[in-house]
Structure 1
Amino acid sequence: MKVTNHTNLPEPVFKALTHSDYSRGHSNRSVTQLIDSPRVRILRKEHDDEITEDVSDMLWSVLGTSVHTMFERHQPEGHIVEERLFAEVDGWSISGAIDLQRSEADGTMTIMDYKCTSVWSVIHGKVEWHKQLNFYAWLAEQKDGVKVIGLQIIAVLRDWQRAKSKIETNYPLAPIVIVDVPLWPAEERDRYVRQRVKIHQEAEYERLTGGHIPRCSDEEQWKRADTFAVKKRGNKRALRVFDSMAEAETFAGEAAEREIEERRGKRVRCEDNWCRVAQWCEQYENEAWS
């Protein structure tokens, strides 16, 4: 990947932001790769030398790593800090680094993951947190005698505002909060892990044999919901915007001067190129012109 420096940051800052000690160890895939789109992973691998990112865009990721490092320096009794676990699934070695494992009095385990994130993520929740931590629970239980009973996110909120915490009902009360994540049944976790490995293995095979790699789902594209705008004919501005066609039709009624415009939800990850490979993605190109 090529890193630019459009804001002319000094060399020490540039080096600090571009430095990385990350390693997934001797594994074929990591948990974060497996829960994500195989299309994105394959295209990133194929175009690694062409992908460009500005160093300023790395700031939040590096700050998140710094938060991890600060917390990892302290390991009280009964806690396991930053342990990378490995397991074999259908011929692949997979791994995941768990930020914190806390042994409970009865010998069970609670898994915690640190996130430097936004207030929005805590208020609305993130499905990928559920997937990641349940994958970690599966990995942890591959060790003899381990039983996971709880999953938690330790969320550091980079955009928290004290004033809003005092007046908004669902707003977090502090800039660092604990978010409980639902623990799936063991059978569901096992099924999910094997399904994700299979999806990525099949995608690899398709690419190697000249086939088509799987399309990204709406969730993987961070797609916003479609909406339906009721407008006066000839006007660009909507009278009202609805989440369903039925609601829009009810509001529009039989008035001849009103029309309904379907507005496709933005595919945020693609259109804003958060995936970094949109320009090489056939799916994105086709959907952009559809």
Structure 2
Amino acid sequence: MAVGYMRYGTFQNAGGDETFLEADRAGGKAFVAANRHNQFTPPTGGGVSVGVGGVGQVGTAGWSYGWGVMGSSIADGGLQAGVVGLGNGSANTGVVGEAHTGSAAWGVWGKSNQGYAGWFSGKVHITGGLTKASGGFKIDHPLDPENKYLVHSFVESPDMLNVYSGNVETDGSGEAVVVLPGYFEALNQDFTYQLTCVGQFAQAIIAEEIQDNRFSIKTDKPSVKVSWQVTGVRQDPYAVRNRISPEEEKSEGERGLYLHPEAYDQPRSSDINYERERAHEIIKSDLQKRAAELFEEHDAKK
């Protein structure tokens, strides 16, 4: 393939026509654009050197039976990135991923063997379901924030469970009324109760169950502090249409495979996504090799 260089650049307006470049070469490129200014240093905001720029309703588009667009960064450091999406307009979006065909379609796929497959700095909202192997919160330790983290696990349930709790003191007759949020009965069903007397031995019962978003407690002694907890199962329209099934049969293609084969001392080839990840690694390895060759090729011709 012939390689040409333009030292001073050029401009051409093709009007209503297209400019078409074609190559028919295994492992080759149809078009290469290089901007060598600061090419081996990360962008710092003081004028970014761009290899290829596109202007239009869609600035740059790629169509492929493999990867439509690939971005690869070969430098070390947290600032560098293979692909960056910036939404600079009002109510704009930085990156959009869509995949609508088949249950195994993934709009966005993040992978990391040592770091994080996804890192979100800010609020995250999910309109559909969320499944995970484990979860919790991780914060700077309140007693030693400079040197330690504090990590807690989520509380799990097979039901879409809401938990409410508090403390109340019964009056001189041993009675107390607990008022719940105004939306409680609209949101919840199948209530359960727990009562614990605090500070003295006493008996406590639910005198009247939840009605009109309140319930009453009765103790056998006056002025007893009672710690209470009430749970309810969600009954809002979304929850009713999207109940969680605690046990699911694996599909025909998933049987014999694992989400976490290492937990069962099984080989990586038993991972449900092994074939998909293996194909991804092969393509990625080849493209990274071609990217390295591209740098070497053009460095030799400077």
Q: TM-score range by the shorter chain?
A: under 0.3
Instruction: Name the structure where strand makes up a greater proportion of residues.
Output: 1
| RCO comparison, higher one (Cα < 8 Å, 6+) | 1
**TM-score, scaled to structure 1:** 0.21
Greater Rg over alpha carbons, structure: 2
Instruction: Name the structure where helix makes up a greater proportion of residues.
Output: 1
**TM-score, scaled to structure 2:** 0.20
